[in-house]
Amino acid sequence: MSFFSALIVAVLFSVGVYLLLQRTLSRIILGLALMGHSANLLLMVVGGRAGKAPISGTFGPADTVADPLPQALALTAIVISFGVISFLLAIAYRSWVLTQNDEVEDDVEDARIAQLGEAEMRRWWSRPR
């Protein structure tokens, strides 16, 4: 069962990364959602098998006690991913309203800064030592 769960986590994460690297906002949002789900599933798989609640006091020495940390981390990850996805959906909607396009464009200023950085690096490497 652990191998099957790890395989599902790997597939979800790889599909999420593939979608995150696309140029359309809808695919980016779906990829981020898949990566969030794979992170939650990974936390649940790492948490191990279910056990008795650690605060109940009804377990014996041979009983397994559940670790609450993976559950708390998964709940936190769910809340954070919900906030991020909601924000990205708002950005995607605003982009669609303004441009009627879902594609992420290249940033002209970013390309200019990258060219300046390349020129600076060539000048730095060609200086006499």
Show me where the domains of the chain are located.
2-126
Question: What is the per-residue pLDDT across 1-55, written as a single tens digit (0 to 9) for each?
Answer: 688 989 999 999 999 999 999 989 999 999 999 999 999 999 888 887 777 776 7
Give the angle 33-21-81 at the CA atoms, nearest 5°.
20
Q: How far apart are the first and last CA of the chain?
A: 60
Q: Can you give the length of the chain in residues?
A: 129
CATH code for the part of the protein at 2-126: 1.10.287.3510
Question: What is the per-residue pLDDT across 82-127, written as a single tens digit (0 to 9) for each?
Answer: 999 999 999 999 989 998 888 888 888 888 888 888 888 888 888 7
Q: How far apart, in whole angstroms, are the C-alpha atoms of residue 21 and residue 30?
A: 11
